[in-house]
Amino acid sequence: MKFVDEYREASLCKGYAEEIRRTATRPWTIMEVCGGQTHTILRYGLPGMLNGAVELIHGPGCPVCVTPPSFIDAALHVASLPGVILCSFGDMLRVPGSGGDLNSARARGGNVRMVYSPFDAVELARNNPESQVVMFAVGFETTAPATAAALLSARELDNFSVICCHVLVLPAMEAVMSMKGCRVKGFLAAGHVCTVMGWNQYSALARDYRVPVIVAGFEPADILQAIHMCVSQLESGSHRVENQYTRSVSPDGNPAARELMDRVFSVTDREWRGLGMIPRSGLRLSDDWREYDAMRRFGVTLGEPAAATECMAGRVLIGEIPPTGCPHFGRGCTPESPMGAPMVSSEGACAAHYRYGRRT
């Protein structure tokens, strides 16, 4: 398959790994931001290929994982209301809030539907005018344009609204670098986010924190080439933005998608699971669209940030510990019985280690 198979070619990947081992004079610590990259890294055994030349740590790049319990609790409340159809992406159905998850709400009689796109929720609203249809809108800049477009298409409907929990990647990367004891020396930035937002936005991060930022794709050859680019900068003392994912990413991203976001959303402070409140790291509906805010429509307010639990998801999401450093990993916490979001999500670091890490 074009643009897939050629980026999984064994000799190409081995060549990049050998070059990384030759180039690195010390074990550099690099954070891959995206959970999709984490799964590729573990699925294809890339840490073993690098043989200690680079330490890869996982970042907060799983939107399901960083959604705080307060928003899940809000979705649970809305799902319990009579006459409401709550729509969500599949991964969110099993992420625990403080009062259970959306699957348990469905078992209690709530009308909870899994959708593949916000437009599925809009279609439900058109076909069910007697019901209030609510989209639990979660994701980074990759899914936010689709939510914006769905809202524009639903402007004539009075029975469609959203719980807006979209977040922005760059402020989270800055928050990680600002943390005491941060070990990150370079970043692999998420290629799909940069497809929308471009890579120019990372220039200030690279300059201010003196860290290389490499926009990376999602196949093993993509990631190994990006690691080599990052290690080469670190060895030379450079700290700039480079784009490995040239087949998809341009400096300014996708202007049409960004324009959709600007029309519908405003930037706001947002709580992240594991990172706390990060200034200007989330999206809310702008004032012109507040009538489509489900929280406002149903009089729901966010609860206080969740108290600490036995789950160590917060430490995993900032790269402080690997998933295997949690005493519950693979014991009390499994994909069948998860204690936290990173074991649930298809992009979660704990799920990746459980599925692939033990094999490699």
**Domain segments of the chain: what residues?**
5-62+175-234, 65-168+253-294
Radius of gyration of the chain (CA): 20
Q: What tokens were used for 41?
A: 């890294």
Looking at residue 307, the DSSP 8-state letter turns out to be P
pLDDT of residue 360: 46
Question: Which residues sit opposite 34 in a β-bridge?
Answer: 61
Query: Cβ atoms within 10 A of the Cβ of 94, count?
Result: 18
Closest by alpha carbon to 349, among 11, 40, 92?
40
Q: With contact defined as beta carbons under 8 Å apart, do 295 and 301 qualify?
A: yes
Mean pLDDT taken over the chain: 93
> 133 phi and psi, to 5 degrees?
-105, 125
Instruction: Return left, alpha or beta for 175; rule: phi > 0 is left, psi -120 to 50 is alpha, else beta.
Output: alpha
CA pair distance 168, 270, nearest whole angstrom:
9
Alpha helices in the chain (DSSP H): 10-23, 35-43, 46-50, 63-66, 69-79, 102-107, 118-127, 144-153, 169-178, 191-197, 203-209, 220-236, 255-264, 294-297, 313-317, 349-352
How do beta strands 241-243 and 213-216 pair?
parallel
More confident residue, 95 or 16: 16
How do beta strands 186-190 and 28-34 pair?
parallel
Q: List Cβ neighbours of 112 (8 Å cut-off, separation of 6 or more).
A: 79, 85, 86, 87, 88, 93, 102, 103, 105, 106
Question: Which residues sit opposite 241 in a β-bridge?
Answer: 213
Residue at 47: amino acid letter: P
Q: What burial class does residue 156 get, using C-beta atoms within 10 Å of its C-beta: 0-12 exposed, 13-18 middle, 19+ buried?
A: exposed
Residue at 45: amino acid letter: G
Confidence of residue 27 (pLDDT cuts 50, 70, 90): very high
Looking at residue 93, the DSSP 8-state letter turns out to be G
Percent of the chain with pLDDT over 90: 79
Confidence of residue 64 (pLDDT cuts 50, 70, 90): confident
Q: Do 5-62+175-234 and 65-168+253-294 agree at the fold level?
A: yes
Domain 65-168+253-294 falls in which CATH fold? Rossmann fold (3.40.50)
For residue range 137-152, list pLDDT tens digits in order. 999 999 999 999 999 9
CA 219 to the chain's CA centroid = 17
For residue range 172-186, list pLDDT tens digits in order. 999 999 998 899 999
CA pair distance 25, 256, nearest whole angstrom:
43
For residue range 68-78, list pLDDT tens digits in order. 989 999 999 99
Domain 5-62+175-234 falls in which CATH fold? Rossmann fold (3.40.50)
pLDDT of residue 305: 63
For residue range 338-349, list pLDDT tens digits in order. 888 899 888 899
pTM of the predicted model as reported, rounded to 2 decimal places: 0.93
